[in-house]
Structure 1
């Protein structure tokens, strides 16, 4: 009986393992191992998941990495863990709460004071909160819109002049394929009218990922000719702490296991396209485009330039950018 089971189970395990390896190959890997000594990177949400793995990959290449996180103790713990594997590069913990406009401004002020150059800003941090929790930021924004989009919008704006002065430089915005399920409803950006799921996992999250794409699209257009390039990245279906607030039963995990074996990436695998876009300065990387699996990705939906402009203007107003028109960023 046991031997019969072995004859059945072992081939199945082998086939699953082979399929997994084939999928891993298709996900792509950053091949650029150029020495980044002297180049300064900022990675938001760098204490765990994709952000932590991105910081580790950059440190391997001898970069200086500002690891911007809400909890400095957590990022110091992450640095200690990275240092068990990587001794090169410089890892700098700094406090940044993207749910607070005040914290974002304080962080930007500190960075601009301490660093004369900023070469790459990686807007990686993100939140995913069940809609029933009705979470909001310190400034009263719906948490997905406020953190995933507005927080990074303001941070990028405050650092843009330094990025321009440090050119060639770049901004990498982590979005998601879920942007294809998102909508930008200017009368309901904060979910004032409620949000129906319509079969989607979380409409607010999907909407914020679409907002990320629109932000990158418009930013690339406004930065044309400045030496600042902009890339949006979908890291793929990755195992991180993003969904830690979502409660699942043991049955969900049993059903999900076969899918995870074939489709779920490790955090390091999810970080590969981020690192690819952050470190590859060849002309083959197209400005203002979305990347997935270390190659160009074309979403099923087309981005509307008019929506991009309007979202930019609304975001500038909501984040209280008073000198918006005098900073060389207006259309």
Structure 2
């Protein structure tokens, strides 16, 4: 079987072990959220995918700082459970659940419409939700489900909430990308599920590259508005993002991860740093590594002409004709 061959291949095993070792080293020296005294009372934050993993710990941190926190989740049951847990742990009752399916542009529009009708401000938007390893699925919008969930849905959500964020400035947009964007490719036919390879994490890598490209272009367009936009790699984290992979892949990932990879709480550190730290105030159009350091993204993510084209295509794909 092809999966068995991959997992037993010595090159794959060695590279995985080395990567795990690097990630373990990167746990050291990171910024400590608990040592940060920044308070968010009077601020409103939205975190997508906040019912589990990294997103839940980001929302938990914001709630501890006194923010009004909106958990933007697809599952009502899991979102409600996270809501209860966050309220109990923080004593902050101003935490709320709003449902959204990022793979559906109509659902994103409905979420944004309700949010704009009910909320007076938005100071922090964390685009955290994501999937990996999905089989081929085309949404009713004619989009590949992975691209819709990881990139085009968050792109539309950000666009719809942007005017409110400008009125609430200073405000911050944080997009959770991945170091895997460096392995990504840009082919605009991918958005419609064409010319795609559904092997391992290839689609995920492509979506994460588009995250960084469009975040950089968004930052350029937002210059002078008081709204910043940055992308961040949270590290290799033990989350549920692997749930769509074959069992043998998940088992090996979890086995290695138990010893070397970050916990969801540790993975939340770099996104929280981008969202609240005084040191990141005013920084925009940058890519942060999992140790909270500023690093250069992949060369494709620094191509300004490509960024303009990518952004304009995403605008067309998410516009309601």
Where on the TM-score scale, by shorter chain, does this alignment land: which range?
A: 0.7 to 0.9
3-state SS of 2:240 partner: coil
The structure-2 alpha-carbon separation of the partners of 1:135 and 1:294, relative to structure 1 and needing over 3 Å to count, comes to same
Confirm or deny: 8 A CA contact 1:61 1:88 kept in the other structure.
no
Which residue is 1:93 aligned to? Answer: 97
Which residue is 1:37 aligned to? Answer: 41
Alpha-carbon distance, 1:283 to partner:
5.6
Alpha-carbon distance, 1:65 to partner:
0.5
Alpha-carbon distance, 1:29 to partner:
2.9
**Separation in 1 of the partners of 2:304 and 2:23?**
39
Which residue is 1:186 aligned to? Answer: 188
Which residue is 1:10 aligned to? Answer: none
The structure-2 alpha-carbon separation of the partners of 1:167 and 1:97, relative to structure 1 and needing over 3 Å to count, comes to same
Alpha-carbon distance, 1:196 to partner:
7.1
Alignment of structure 1 residues 61-210 onto 2, 5 Å: 61-88=65-92, 90-130=94-134, 133-195=135-197, 197=199, 201-210=200-209
Confirm or deny: 8 A CA contact 2:71 2:95 kept in the other structure.
yes
- Cα RMSD of the aligned pairs, angstroms, is 2.3
Which residue is 1:266 aligned to? Answer: 263
**Separation in 1 of the partners of 2:180 and 2:253?**
22
Taking structure 1 as the reference length, what is the TM-score of the superposition? Answer: 0.83
**Separation in 1 of the partners of 2:92 and 2:198?**
48
Structure 2 residue runs of 5 or longer lacking an equivalent are 1-21
1:9-53 CA-to-partner distances (Å, cap 9, x unmatched) read: xxxxxxxxxx99865324443342312111000001100011101
Alpha-carbon distance, 1:195 to partner:
2.1
The structure-2 alpha-carbon separation of the partners of 1:258 and 1:47, relative to structure 1 and needing over 3 Å to count, comes to closer
Which residue is 1:58 aligned to? Answer: 62
Alpha-carbon distance, 1:215 to partner:
1.0
1:129-181 CA-to-partner distances (Å, cap 9, x unmatched) read: 34xx2123332211121111100111011111000000001111110000000
The partner residue of 1:291 within 285, 288, 291 is: 288
The structure-2 alpha-carbon separation of the partners of 1:26 and 1:136, relative to structure 1 and needing over 3 Å to count, comes to farther
Alpha-carbon distance, 1:233 to partner:
0.9
The partner residue of 1:275 within 249, 272, 277 is: 272
**Separation in 1 of the partners of 2:156 and 2:195?**
25
Alpha-carbon distance, 1:231 to partner:
1.0
**Count of aligned pairs between the two proteins:** 298
Taking structure 2 as the reference length, what is the TM-score of the superposition? Answer: 0.86
Which residue is 2:299 aligned to? Answer: 301
Structure 1 residue runs of 5 or longer lacking an equivalent are 1-18, 323-331
Alpha-carbon distance, 1:79 to partner:
1.6
The structure-2 alpha-carbon separation of the partners of 1:183 and 1:94, relative to structure 1 and needing over 3 Å to count, comes to same
The structure-2 alpha-carbon separation of the partners of 1:110 and 1:256, relative to structure 1 and needing over 3 Å to count, comes to closer
1:42-73 CA-to-partner distances (Å, cap 9, x unmatched) read: 00110001110100011111111100011222
